[in-house]
A and B are shown apart, each in its own frame.
Chain A
């Protein structure tokens, strides 16, 4: 079975089912949190079996466990594994014309570690003294045994280490694969933007996941071996470690993690906007360069998470400048997407709607982050639901919609069957709208001062008037949860009796659609294609004239032009991206 195959497509399927399962679990936990904020202390329907003593009502300890596990599961076991484990493993080798990943057995090992971590997370729910409850960031000393003695916290710490090891392994594997295993002719300038996104994010995995592993390992030693790396203070034990060191280590990973989650999404949005506008991506090199710039800056902005930790004014000012700086490449990339749509022939397919939805929620999320980048405006908003709404829009909603854009796009390639377009469109459009409702409501509540992670926000007089707003936001969240049924129905129906997809249902030229059958066999390509042009060779006049279609495969020769076809990429001067030589030499000779 697939678990024992080292083929990248089989590993991808393992991550897909695992990631979707944890997405369901993490989503249900989110709905429980939303229930608590709409009806504090009221029994949650259907939860009486888990919390018999309170007849299903959340208690403060249960609530802290729920929001801790929601964050951990979503980041480490749902969204990252879906983006890299499922889509990355499946698409990356195919898109660069490789027969597989550079280290196939390493990817199996990585999946094994992810599965082990997932099992530990599930186990942590049922152990003595309860699951983890120190928040997903697990700040010490709260996360040390003195304050969180439960075995669950230890299990989850090990689980995060497992997920980190797995992420490091596929990061390394992807970097080496892109550097070493590209098909002949697949130059760096011809990589699909999805591959660029996965590549840069993998670089970040390799660089910063070890920092998480370091922080987590030291914390684990504090928990198990009695060390005091993060237990400090004049007050508590009279010197020793320093809890702030953990915060620096954690966010030195934690902030790049935001880009780890969003770079593959950016790549997919860039590709899909070009594919479904039927024209080459505007400013391909600028976009790839902007993504690279964000990657380079990502580790240099982390300390804006610590603006209120009492850091030195020098550090505060430095990180404010660096944080604001990172918005510049993001703007360049965003404007390029918008320019790609302009003067295109826009096809609103399900993947395109999901990509546009991702673009929309990412725009909202990015913009609401500006006020968090400057120290003065961060102060009133720090630790409030404004922050929660902001990062849920960017790394929650935008990544989620990109995952589904990718899934709807590559599903025919993965399983040979096409998902139902109508259901898929209804799913992504309703999800995008409801995401804005949920996280927009959070932004409003946070702006009014509602702090994060409060079991009962209405204990504070100044937050009492926010109850109706929170109820409305929760209603949006329940509808959002219900909308996911559309995907489940579509998935089950398609796998059973979906219509067989054609070889190239989206009519695009990337290698996986033009050189491999659906689903591709082990080894992907026989023979390995020779790449002649970039990924977005759409609506080229000479192709239309010669072939009568508006796209051409990356490895497809154009009959008449084959003669002079050392096929340059003309992204530099902006004419005829990918068709090379033809248009610049004045049409078909």
Chain B
């Protein structure tokens, strides 16, 4: 997203760019202790059924429907292509006579026509469906920008954990009541969640499999995405881009809470943050200007 990338000046006078000393800090944090309890397992899904992770988002069904169409097409094309191949090999195996030509004008026209028809239907459906989703959801940042309930989260990816920052009750980043969590995302159900994503060290991949969200976290860039939880529950945050030896343990937990319990959690966490706020700890203060759509 052009509006979401580009240079990233730190917000506020107190905040300064995170220095390389940050890595030493994060190394001190025991990742396992910080790790919240396990997410809900996908018990309903058998290992042998071709099924996506459970959809917990308000918009994911649009992708899922399109993907289901894509699989119908894939199945149809496989049946035609492989069925034709096997049938031809079986029916014409050692046949006495073979056609001596490379096709007639008519048969070649059929090939072109069939290819064009399949292309128009299959690729056309994917293109239009995808375009609709991009226009309405993925690249439409007017939705979170216009909604008063929108929750903004700044996610900073590290080797190997997710650091998240909430503005706190005052709604402004870079103030003492900013709430910082590790591998622990909390969002209210029903409100757009606007994520601003950066990386401190290498390229990471921020992914919420149950919300159909994926976005690279790239050093030097600020990327944005948004999603909306459809119901309460606990799901996982995964890193999908190889980011070093402990890449496989770069796991976080996302809790979708009722708006009331989210508000009370944020109030309490903000109060604690204010108490332990240390104005001299410049490394703990980071943030990037929010780009409007």
| Chain B residues whose CB sits within 8 angstroms of the CB of A447 once the complex forms | 50-52
Are the C-beta atoms of B248 and A456 separated by less than 8 Å?
yes
| Chain B residues whose CB sits within 8 angstroms of the CB of A280 once the complex forms | 100-102
Are the C-beta atoms of B1 and A310 separated by less than 8 Å?
yes
Closest CB of chain B to A544's CB: distance in Å?
9
| Chain B residues whose CB sits within 8 angstroms of the CB of A451 once the complex forms | 207, 238-240
Q: Could you give, for residues 132-143 of chain A, a 1 whenever the CB lies within 8 Å of some chain B CB and a 0 otherwise?
A: 011100010110
Cβ-closest chain B residue relative to A470: B47
Are the C-beta atoms of A139 and B98 separated by less than 8 Å?
no
Whether a CB of chain A sits under 8 angstroms from the CB of B138 is: yes
Q: Could you give, for residues 2-45 of chain B, a 1 whenever the CB lies within 8 Å of some chain A CB and a 0 otherwise?
A: 10110111100000011010100000000000000011111101
Q: Could you give, for residues 256-290 of chain A, a 1 whenever the CB lies within 8 Å of some chain B CB and a 0 otherwise?
A: 00000000000000000000011111111010000
| Chain A residues whose CB sits within 8 angstroms of the CB of B201 once the complex forms | 141, 147, 235-236
Whether a CB of chain A sits under 8 angstroms from the CB of B228 is: no
Whether a CB of chain B sits under 8 angstroms from the CB of A332 is: yes
Closest CB of chain B to A281's CB: distance in Å?
6
Of residues 332 through 352 on chain A, the ones whose CB sits less than 8 Å from some CB of chain B are 332, 334-336, 338-339, 341-348
Interface footprint category on B: 35 or more
Whether a CB of chain B sits under 8 angstroms from the CB of A112 is: no
Are the C-beta atoms of B219 and A141 separated by less than 8 Å?
yes
Whether a CB of chain B sits under 8 angstroms from the CB of A2 is: no
| Chain A residues whose CB sits within 8 angstroms of the CB of B9 once the complex forms | 234
| Chain B residues whose CB sits within 8 angstroms of the CB of A242 once the complex forms | 220
Alpha-carbon gap, A325 to B120, bound state (A): 10
Whether a CB of chain A sits under 8 angstroms from the CB of B259 is: no
Are the C-beta atoms of A370 and B111 separated by less than 8 Å?
no
Whether a CB of chain A sits under 8 angstroms from the CB of B73 is: yes
Alpha-carbon gap, A480 to B161, bound state (A): 37
| Chain A residues whose CB sits within 8 angstroms of the CB of B100 once the complex forms | 279-280, 538-541, 576, 583
Closest CB of chain A to B54's CB: distance in Å?
8
Are the C-beta atoms of A335 and B220 separated by less than 8 Å?
no
Are the C-beta atoms of A244 and B218 separated by less than 8 Å?
yes
Closest CB of chain B to A268's CB: distance in Å?
16
| Chain B residues whose CB sits within 8 angstroms of the CB of A278 once the complex forms | 98
Are the C-beta atoms of B102 and A382 separated by less than 8 Å?
no
Whether a CB of chain B sits under 8 angstroms from the CB of A311 is: yes
Are the C-beta atoms of B122 and A370 separated by less than 8 Å?
yes
Alpha-carbon gap, A356 to B71, bound state (A): 23
Alpha-carbon gap, A380 to B247, bound state (A): 19
Check A380/B17 contact, CB under 8 A, given A243-B218, A461-B40: no
Q: What count of chain A residues pass the 8 Å CB interface test?
A: 114
Are the C-beta atoms of A455 and B247 separated by less than 8 Å?
yes
- The residue among B17, B115, B131, B224 with the most chain A CB atoms within 10 A of its own CB is B115
Whether a CB of chain A sits under 8 angstroms from the CB of B146 is: no
| Chain B residues whose CB sits within 8 angstroms of the CB of A461 once the complex forms | 38-42, 236
Are the C-beta atoms of A310 and B85 separated by less than 8 Å?
no
Are the C-beta atoms of B138 and A376 separated by less than 8 Å?
yes
Q: Give the contacting residue for A538; candidates B7, B98, B126, B247; CB below 8 A.
A: B98
Whether a CB of chain B sits under 8 angstroms from the CB of A506 is: no
Closest CB of chain A to B7's CB: distance in Å?
7
| Chain A residues whose CB sits within 8 angstroms of the CB of B103 once the complex forms | 282-283, 336, 339, 574
Are the C-beta atoms of A468 and B47 separated by less than 8 Å?
yes
Are the C-beta atoms of B95 and A344 separated by less than 8 Å?
yes
Binds B, one of A12-20, A21-29, A167-175, A361-369: A361-369
| Chain B residues whose CB sits within 8 angstroms of the CB of A60 once the complex forms | 245-246, 248
| Chain A residues whose CB sits within 8 angstroms of the CB of B71 once the complex forms | 371
Alpha-carbon gap, A460 to B41, bound state (A): 9
Check A370/B73 contact, CB under 8 A, given A235-B17, A277-B92, A383-B205: yes
Are the C-beta atoms of B115 and A281 separated by less than 8 Å?
no
Closest CB of chain A to B138's CB: distance in Å?
7
Whether a CB of chain B sits under 8 angstroms from the CB of A462 is: yes
Q: Could you give, for residues 195-227 of chain B, a 1 whenever the CB lies within 8 Å of some chain A CB and a 0 otherwise?
A: 001111111010101101111101111011000
Whether a CB of chain B sits under 8 angstroms from the CB of A207 is: no
Of residues 52 through 96 on chain B, the ones whose CB sits less than 8 Å from some CB of chain A are 52-54, 62-64, 66-67, 70-71, 73-74, 77-78, 81-82, 84-85, 88-89, 92-96
Q: Give the contacting residue for B111; candidates A277, A282, A346, A356; CB below 8 A.
A: A282
Whether a CB of chain A sits under 8 angstroms from the CB of B271 is: no
Are the C-beta atoms of A64 and B73 separated by less than 8 Å?
no
| Chain B residues whose CB sits within 8 angstroms of the CB of A430 once the complex forms | none
Q: Give the contacting residue for B242; candidates A134, A317, A577; CB below 8 A.
A: A134
| Chain B residues whose CB sits within 8 angstroms of the CB of A316 once the complex forms | 134, 139
Cβ-closest chain B residue relative to A283: B108
Q: Give the contacting residue for B98; candidates A239, A343, A466; CB below 8 A.
A: A343
Are the C-beta atoms of B108 and A243 separated by less than 8 Å?
no
Are the C-beta atoms of A324 and B2 separated by less than 8 Å?
no
Are the C-beta atoms of B95 and A345 separated by less than 8 Å?
yes
Cβ-closest chain B residue relative to A569: B102
Whether a CB of chain A sits under 8 angstroms from the CB of B265 is: no
| Chain A residues whose CB sits within 8 angstroms of the CB of B210 once the complex forms | 462
Are the C-beta atoms of A236 and B20 separated by less than 8 Å?
yes
Check A142/B221 contact, CB under 8 A, given A342-B88, A574-B102, A574-B104: no
Whether a CB of chain A sits under 8 angstroms from the CB of B279 is: no
| Chain A residues whose CB sits within 8 angstroms of the CB of B126 once the complex forms | 324, 370-371, 373-374, 377
Are the C-beta atoms of B242 and A142 separated by less than 8 Å?
yes
| Chain A residues whose CB sits within 8 angstroms of the CB of B8 once the complex forms | 233-234
Alpha-carbon gap, A515 to B214, bound state (A): 58
- The residue among A142, A234, A447 with the most chain B CB atoms within 10 A of its own CB is A234
- The residue among B9, B200, B207 with the most chain A CB atoms within 10 A of its own CB is B207
Are the C-beta atoms of A233 and B62 separated by less than 8 Å?
no
Whether a CB of chain B sits under 8 angstroms from the CB of A105 is: no
Whether a CB of chain A sits under 8 angstroms from the CB of B251 is: yes
Of residues 182 through 202 on chain B, the ones whose CB sits less than 8 Å from some CB of chain A are 197-202
Are the C-beta atoms of A335 and B111 separated by less than 8 Å?
yes
Check A462/B236 contact, CB under 8 A, given A147-B202, A313-B1, A377-B70: yes
Check A539/B98 contact, CB under 8 A, given A375-B138, A462-B209, A465-B47: yes
| Chain A residues whose CB sits within 8 angstroms of the CB of B18 once the complex forms | 235
- Chain A residues proximal to chain B, CB less than 8 Å: 60-61, 64, 133-135, 139, 141-142, 147, 232-239, 242-244, 277-284, 286, 308-314, 316-317, 320-321, 324-325, 327-328, 331-332, 334-336, 338-339, 341-348, 356, 359-360, 363-364, 367-368, 370-371, 373-377, 379-384, 444, 447-449, 451-457, 459-462, 464-469, 536, 538-541, 550, 571, 573-577, 583
Residue pairs across A and B with Cβ atoms less than 8 A apart, 25 shown, are A141-B203, A232-B220, A233-B199, A234-B7, A234-B8, A244-B218, A279-B99, A310-B224, A320-B131, A321-B127, A335-B111, A338-B84, A370-B74, A374-B130, A379-B214, A448-B42, A448-B53, A452-B240, A453-B248, A455-B248, A465-B42, A469-B47, A539-B99, A539-B100, A574-B101
* Shortest Cβ-Cβ A-B pairs, 9 listed: A233-B220, A383-B240, A233-B219, A232-B220, A310-B223, A341-B88, A374-B130, A312-B2, A280-B102
Given A310-B5, A310-B197, 14 new contacts (CB under 8 A): A134-B242, A142-B244, A233-B221, A308-B215, A328-B119, A332-B111, A341-B89, A360-B85, A363-B77, A376-B138, A383-B207, A451-B207, A453-B242, A538-B100
